[in-house]
């Protein structure tokens, strides 16, 4: 927590320091655009449209979201962030189920690994903006046990589409990590493949699963936020950010209030994954058979 607060303080301090001192000092005369060796690579600081002060962002949070509305900006951002957080969690869980299932199949049957691995890599090159309309169109034809496909369902599926890949790759490598001596020992006990996987391969894969889980959590957040914009889901922080961008000229600080929501979303997911990391870390093998 202390390191997190220190990092936030450094970001805020760096933002304000650049706005007030370094930006104009590096800027070209008359327009205050940051230049280095003649290249305009630093943001404009003379107007609050590009880099509003931090105090203005904080003040914007307390203002009504829409003129005459009883809902403040911070309330709208909080509600949208929590909604996106639930979707990201659902995407992570779905991605974990799919990723681990694929990894188990690939570790059990080598022909599946050789045939499926290239397609897993190719799947991550497909842009979400191309998949979003397909999930909405195809999902609209799905109905089972009274469940009707919703736009939030598309966001969850697309988030899971990004999050399953690092888990599938990490788990596959982890399941193959036990030493030959350990595997031979399990065979000498006439242990079945499933028993060997549960007692040996799965615990050995924990050190590989933990970093993969962190990547999957970030991918789930990114996938959900982008998917909300692509499928038109209006209750999440992704769509709220796009909506606030329309007021970027009149209320530039309002745009950054939505950005703060996306940052909070990422931090909450990182905290949850970190807690799971500590829990699963207890299952790490304490010694390895050689």
Burial 158-171 (b: 16+ CB within 10 A, else e): bbbbbbbbbbbbbb
| 87 and 42 housed in the same domain | no
Rounded CA separation 90/92 (Å): 5
Instruction: Please indicate, yes or no, whether residues 92 and 10 belong to a single structural domain of this protein.
Output: no
Q: Are residues 17 and 161 in the same domain?
A: no
| Residues 149-196 pLDDT 10s | 888 888 999 999 999 999 999 999 999 888 888 888 888 888 888 888
The verdict on 107 and 226 lying in the same domain is yes
How many domains is the chain partitioned into structurally? 2
- Judge if 41 and 83 occupy the same domain: no
Please check whether residues 171 and 107 belong to one and the same domain: yes
- Looking at the fold, whether 37 and 77 belong to one and the same domain comes out as no
Asked if 32 and 97 sit in the same domain, the reply is: no
Full-model pTM: 0.83
Say whether both 183 and 276 belong to one domain: yes
CA distance 131 to 158: 8
Closest by CA to 156, choosing from 76, 221, 210, 90, is 90
Please tell me the predicted confidence (pLDDT) of residue 93. Answer: 94
- Rounded to whole angstroms, the Cα distance separating 258 from 74 reads 9
d(CA 8, CA 2): 10
Question: Could you give phi then psi for residue 44, rounded to 5 degrees?
Answer: -65, 140
pLDDT in tens, 127-160: 888 888 888 777 767 776 667 788 888 899 999 9
Q: Which domain does 7 fall in, by range?
A: 2-51
36 and 92 in a single domain? The answer is no
- Whether 100 maps to a domain, the answer reads yes
Residue of 223, 19, 18 whose CA lies nearest to 132: 223
DSSP 111-123: HHHHHHHHHHHHH
Mean pLDDT by 10 residues, the chain (290 residues): 72 78 52 58 58 81 78 88 93 94 90 89 85 79 73 90 92 89 85 86 86 91 90 88 80 83 87 79 52
CATH assignment at residue 166: 1.10.3720.10
How many angstroms separate the CA atoms of 239 and 253, rounded?
A: 17
Whether 45 and 184 map to the same domain: the answer is no
* Residue 215 and residue 123 share a domain: yes
């Amino acid at each position: 927590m202390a390191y997190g607060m220190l990092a936030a303080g450094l970001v805020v301090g760096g933002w304000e320091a650049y706005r007030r001192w370094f930006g104009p000092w590096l800027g070209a005369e008359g327009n205050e655009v940051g230049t280095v060796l003649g290249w305009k690579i630093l943001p404009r600081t003379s107007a609050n449209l590009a880099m509003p002060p931090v105090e203005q962002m904080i003040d914007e949070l307390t203002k009504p979201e829409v003129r005459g509305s009883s809902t403040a900006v911070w309330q709208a951002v909080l509600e949208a962030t929590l909604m996106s957080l639930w979707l990201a969690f659902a995407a992570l869980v779905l991605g974990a189920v799919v990723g681990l299932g694929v990894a188990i199949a690939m570790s059990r049957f080598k022909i599946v690994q050789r045939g499926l691995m290239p397609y897993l890599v190719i799947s991550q090159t497909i842009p979400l903006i191309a998949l979003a309309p397909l999930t909405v169109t195809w999902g609209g034809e799905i109905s089972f046990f009274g469940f009707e496909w919703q736009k939030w369902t598309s966001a969850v599926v697309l988030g899971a589409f990004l999050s399953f890949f690092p888990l599938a790759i990490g788990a596959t490598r982890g399941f193959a990590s036990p030493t030959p001596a350990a595997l031979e020992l399990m065979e000498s006990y006439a242990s079945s493949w499933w028993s060997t996987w549960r007692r040996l391969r799965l615990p050995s894969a924990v050190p590989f699963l933990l970093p993969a889980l962190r990547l999957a959590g970030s991918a789930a957040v990114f996938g959900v936020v982008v998917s909300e914009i692509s499928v038109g889901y209006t209750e999440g922080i992704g769509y709220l950010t796009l909506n606030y961008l329309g007021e970027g000229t009149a209320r530039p600080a309002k745009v950054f209030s939505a950005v703060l929501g996306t940052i909070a979303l990422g931090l909450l997911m990182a905290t949850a994954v970190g807690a799971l990391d500590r829990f699963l870390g207890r299952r790490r093998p304490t010694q390895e058979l050689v």
